[in-house]
Amino acid sequence: MIKLFLGLLLLAIPITAIADNVIYIDQTGSSASININQDGSSNRVGSSGDDSISDGATTTMDIDQVGTSNQLDYDIYGDNANITSNITGNSSDVDIQVGTTGGSNGGSDDVNITINASGGNSNTVSTNVGTTASGVEDVDIDIDISGGSNSVTVTENSTATSVTDKLTDIDITGSTNTVTATKSGASQHDTTLGITGSSNTVSITQSGAEASTVDVTTNGSSSSVTITVTD
């Protein structure tokens, strides 16, 4: 079941929206395929007070937002999800939560998240994995950002211990960007970061039951990098 709100009630996907549109999705059931295209400014998929939701196994989603000040707030519950967010422009906000509280499929296993932000400044990207910790594992996050003054935050709280847990790969190009990656839980806290540009700020913290790998490559001047790893 998929419910969509776009000013009026809509029943079909894919969806194309232009300027100042609000799309709200409340999807339950397995094998959903969702494709959203928004072109313009101040468009939203969900909101900070009322996130869109996919609650079920095998969800495939592709959300493209082109323009300024667009917003994506989405909660994912269930196994085998493939989520792609593409943003082009300035001052957009992407917030994706995986396996957080609520949902009949609150646990999430085998989840792939890809976020691409190109040609823009002052964008905010945030992912939060496993707020409830249990039942969330094998989450692969890939983030590719270009532009200045962007903010990237990855928070990983799941407690599973399989080899492919907590894989995060961030590539960011531009100046005065901020990257914060925090991993906690049972083990396998892999983080790879490639950053090109000047005056960037990076903070990586990984902890819990030993295993942890951090790989950081920087190319630029006056950047600040802080890495903290504890057993």
Say what the pLDDT of residue 161 is. Answer: 61
Residue 26 lies in a domain: no
Say what the pLDDT of residue 230 is. Answer: 85
Say what the pLDDT of residue 7 is. Answer: 35
The DSSP secondary-structure symbol of 148 reads: S
Residue 68 lies in a domain: yes
User: Are 117 and 146 a contacting pair, CB within 8 Å?
Assistant: yes
Residue 207 lies in a domain: yes
Residue 199 lies in a domain: yes
In 3D space, the residue among 150, 152, 194, 142 whose CA is nearest the CA of residue 175 turns out to be: 150
Tokens of 231: 């057993």
Residue 4 lies in a domain: no
Say what the pLDDT of residue 195 is. Answer: 92
Counting the structural domains of the chain, the total is 1
3-state SS, one letter per residue, for 30-46: CCCEEEEEEECCCCEEC
| Amino acid in position 89 | G
In 3D space, the residue among 80, 77, 76, 141 whose CA is nearest the CA of residue 110 turns out to be: 80
Residue spans of alpha helices (H) in 16-150: none
Say what the pLDDT of residue 130 is. Answer: 77
> CA neighbours within 13 Å on the CB side: how many for 45?
34
Residue 102 lies in a domain: yes
Say what the pLDDT of residue 60 is. Answer: 94
167, β-bridge pairs: 140
Residue 29 lies in a domain: no
Residue 35 lies in a domain: no
Instruction: Give first-to-last CA distance, the chain, whole Å.
Output: 43
148-182 in b/e form (b: 16+ CB < 10 A) is bbbbbbbbbbbbbeeeebbbbbbbbbbbbbbbbbb
d(CA 142, CA 113): 6
In 3D space, the residue among 51, 40, 47, 48 whose CA is nearest the CA of residue 16 turns out to be: 40
**Residue spans of the chain under pLDDT 50:** 5-13, 18
Say what the pLDDT of residue 1 is. Answer: 54
Cβ-count burial of 219 within 10 angstroms (0-12 exposed, 13-18 middle, 19+ buried)? exposed
Domain that holds residue 201: 47-230
